[in-house]
């Protein structure tokens, strides 16, 4: 009985968090279209979030392509279907693996850093000082970060997808003597509109979710250094859970309409 009570408390806490996060998101959209527009801070956040995450995302994508091909190739070779490798890897990476893995990596790196940064600003009362000085901290801190990661994540996904396919090509080139042109011709021929369009759209939702959760946890961080750590950790956990839920909904909708 105690075990079930604990589970119900967890579910209740999760529902309350989703409600508070929804209200935070509504507040974001209200502030998004109201002046003043912090373009300089937005560009700075795009640099911080996009460029400084490029190496980690690129390395992750490249290794995923290598490992996926190395693990799958022997099985396809047994069935004499190794020629399907470019098409299979291409569709898998573009539709699902690339966007999802990139989003999870960014949730760990960017989501936690946003949560810790805003949490430390809350603890040291910098956000309160901004309100007293007449600056809108929500507009300056939250809107710019959420918008920046919403715009940057699809670009990071595209780069990760390309490097994952290139890593897969290297395995095929050295093991099967496949040329670059032949490999990517097979990939492009296998891809369809329903593979690329939903993957691109859900990348924007992934970025929005990571930014919103990170800002929400940091903006309402509890006092003390423990609160900062909790904000960073809970931002990663909650955003990762929501990413899986959004991905399931996206796949379900794609299956119905495409």
What is the per-residue pLDDT for 2?
A: 54
What is the per-residue pLDDT for 177?
A: 86
* Burial status of residue 87 (CB atoms within 10 A of its CB: 0-12, 13-18, 19 or more): middle
What is the per-residue pLDDT for 209?
A: 96
Alpha helices (H) along the chain:
2-32, 39-50, 54-78, 85-92, 98-106, 112-123, 126-132, 137, 144-176, 180-190, 193-219, 225-257
Inside any domain, residue 127: yes
* Token pair belonging to 167: 């890593």
What is the per-residue pLDDT for 134?
A: 76
- CB neighbours (10 Å) of residue 152? 23
What is the per-residue pLDDT for 3?
A: 59
Boundaries of domain holding 67:
35-257
Inside any domain, residue 91: yes
Residues of the chain with pLDDT under 70: 1-4, 258
Inside any domain, residue 15: no
169-198 pLDDT, tens digit per residue, is 999 999 888 899 999 999 999 998 888 999
Inside any domain, residue 165: yes
What is the per-residue pLDDT for 4?
A: 64
* Token pair belonging to 131: 């309100």
Inside any domain, residue 2: no
**Angle at the Cα of 71 from the Cα atoms of 70 and 74, rounded to 5 degrees:** 85
Inside any domain, residue 162: yes
* Burial status of residue 174 (CB atoms within 10 A of its CB: 0-12, 13-18, 19 or more): exposed
Q: Are 51 and 110 in contact (CB under 8 A)?
A: no
15-52 pLDDT, tens digit per residue, is 888 899 999 999 999 999 888 888 999 999 999 999 98
Inside any domain, residue 85: yes
Inside any domain, residue 118: yes
How many domains does the structure of the chain reveal? Answer: 1
């Amino acid at each position: 009985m105690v075990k079930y009570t604990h589970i119900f408390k967890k579910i209740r806490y999760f529902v309350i968090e989703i409600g508070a996060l929804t209200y935070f998101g509504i507040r974001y959209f209200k502030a998004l279209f109201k002046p003043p527009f912090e373009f300089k801070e937005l560009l700075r956040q795009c640099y911080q979030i996009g460029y400084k995450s490029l190496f980690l995302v690129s390395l992750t994508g490249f290794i995923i392509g290598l490992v996926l091909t190395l693990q799958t190739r022997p099985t396809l070779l047994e069935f004499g279907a190794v020629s399907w490798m470019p098409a299979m890897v291409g569709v898998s990476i573009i539709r699902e693996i690339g966007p999802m893995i990139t989003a999870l990596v960014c949730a760990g790196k960017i989501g936690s850093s946003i949560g810790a940064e805003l949490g430390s600003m809350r603890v040291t009362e910098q956000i309160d000082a901004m309100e007293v000085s007449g600056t809108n901290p929500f507009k300056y801190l939250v809107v710019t970060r959420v918008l920046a990661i919403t715009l940057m994540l699809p670009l990071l996904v595209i780069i990760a997808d390309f490097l994952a396919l290139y890593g897969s090509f290297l395995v095929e080139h050295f093991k099967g003597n496949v040329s670059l042109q032949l490999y990517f011709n097979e990939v492009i021929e296998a891809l369809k509109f329903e593979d690329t369009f939903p993957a691109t759209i859900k990348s924007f939702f992934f970025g929005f979710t990571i930014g919103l959760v990170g800002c929400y946890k940091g903006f309402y961080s509890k006092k003390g250094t423990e609160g900062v750590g909790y904000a960073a950790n809970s931002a990663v956990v909650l955003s990762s859970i929501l990413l899986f839920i959004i991905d399931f909904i996206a796949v379900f909708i794609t299956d119905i309409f495409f």
